[in-house]
Structure 1
Amino acid sequence: MVLAELFSSPLQFSPTHDILFSMSMFREHWIGGIVTYTTFFIISLVATLAVSLLTELPLVWNPTIPSPLQPLKIIGCFAVAVLFGLWPDVDIKSKSQKIFYRVLFALNTALLVFGMYIESALLGLFAMLPIISKHRGWTHSKVTMFLMPCLFLVIPIYLTYPEWSAGWEEPLELIGLLLNTAIPNVCQNWLPFYVASFIGYATHLHLDDILFQSRKAQRRKARGSQ
């Protein structure tokens, strides 16, 4: 009778168990992000050097990674890959949440100091979204995996050429305005950060069995629905 009640009742985990589980997942996600991006970076770098040697193209022909002559940008991409490997868990109390909200607080303070009040308000609004959503909601969405890294393209365009939205009346005029400005160059300069953030994000979803569900995860989900 006791055994029947034990197996029929849901397992109750202590706060200590939850903390240890959160710490293990934090470690798994940041290691996964850096290992995956390192693998991609090495393969892409070898391809870049090989093509440059064989065809005499400049090292910047490959826009998916920074040039080997830009060490600070390379470090930045690795940092972005790690951070975006942690980002999806910002919707639950975790180390990832603490890290990102400290970063967001610093950014918001800087925006206020420089008088960018609209941008500060938008950042604050965005910062509230994960808190009011459920765990493994939109932050763990495959659509968000593609859209979230676009911040590394949209924000530089906005800061570099904020008046792009003025002076046009027809859609074709807007397209011509965009293509005839420095926007394509801005996108190319920041594309490595998009790629790094996308890889980090995708790694997190894969480790959570969301990107590509393993058979083990599928069986676990099937048992849970019974």
Structure 2
Amino acid sequence: MPGYKTHVIAAGVAASGALALGIEKGWYVPAPQMAVVLIAVAVVAALFPDVDTDSKGRRLYYGLLVVVDVALLVRGYAKLAALLGLCAMLPAIDHHRGWTHTWWAMLAVPLPLLVVPSLVWDKQVPAVLPYYGAAVLGYLTHLLLDRRW
């Protein structure tokens, strides 16, 4: 079974490749900072399916969530921070390689990246679609490496 480093590298390579293709073809040309954020989103999403196990990937994933949650609380988004906390607990309700290793979870887990910005900050879906795409791509690399497709 691939470890967290393999999942991180695969997601980083896939996201970088997708961005390079998008830039080369002129489909999507993000600012350099945005490109880095999208690669990071893909990497974090690639770690998600294994957060139900005691692993370095889980510690990294939840460490990042703590930082995001604190930032949300400091900025006055307590309801959003609570929602993030609730979602962070969901993998614990099933066994390893349960629902987190399914194709539908790959599509559903990143959905808040589309829905929340439109509800909280009035962002239009096309503006946040790259984040969703990056998360789905990162999640997909995990499922492919685990041969769970």
Q: 1-side partners of 2:131 and 2:80: how far apart? A: 21
Cα distance, 1:130 vs. partner?
Answer: 1.4
Structure 1: runs of 5+ lacking an equivalent? 1-20, 49-61, 162-182, 212-226
What is the aligned-residue RMSD (CA, Å)?
A: 1.9
User: In structure 2, what residue type is equivalent to 1:89?
Assistant: D
Deviation by residue 1:33-74 (Cα, 9 ceiling, x = unmatched): 1122222222222211xxxxxxxxxxxxx3xx4x24x11111
Which of 186, 192, 216 is the equivalent residue of 2:130? Answer: 192
Structure-1 separation of matches of 2:101 and 2:64? 20
2:145 equivalent among 207, 221, 224: 207
Which residue number corresponds to residue 118 of structure 2? 157
Q: Which residue identity does 1:157 align to in structure 2?
A: S
Distance 2:139 2:58 in 1: 15
Separation (CA, whole Å) in 2 of partners of 1:104 and 1:189: 23
CA shift in 2, pair 1:44/1:129, >3 Å? same
1:77 aligns with: 38
Preserved contact between residue 45 and residue 136 of structure 2 (Cα < 8 Å): yes
Deviation of 1:77 (Å): 0.7
SS state at 1:111 partner: helix
Aligned AA (1:150): L
Unaligned segments of structure 2, at least 5 residues: none
Match of 1:214 in 2: none
| Alpha-carbon distance in 2 for matches of 1:140, 1:116 | 30
Which residue in the other structure is 2:88 paired with? 127
Alignment of 1:1-226 (within 5 A): 25-48=3-26, 62=27, 65=28, 67-68=29-30, 70-161=31-122, 186-211=124-149
Paired amino acid for 1:187: V
**Structure 2 CA distance for aligned equivalents of residues 160 and 115 of structure 1:** 13
Greater radius of gyration (CA): 1
- The aligned amino acid for 1:32 is A
Percent of matched pairs sharing the same residue: 37
- Aligned pair count reads 149
Ranges of 4+ aligned residues in structure 1 off by more than 4 Å: none
Q: Distance in 2 between matches of 1:112 and 1:38?
A: 31
How far off its partner does 1:199 sit? 0.8
Q: Which amino acid aligns with 2:25?
A: A
TM-score (norm 1): 0.60
Q: Is the 8 A contact 2:19 2:35 kept in 1?
A: no
TM-score of the two chains, using structure 2 as the length reference: 0.88
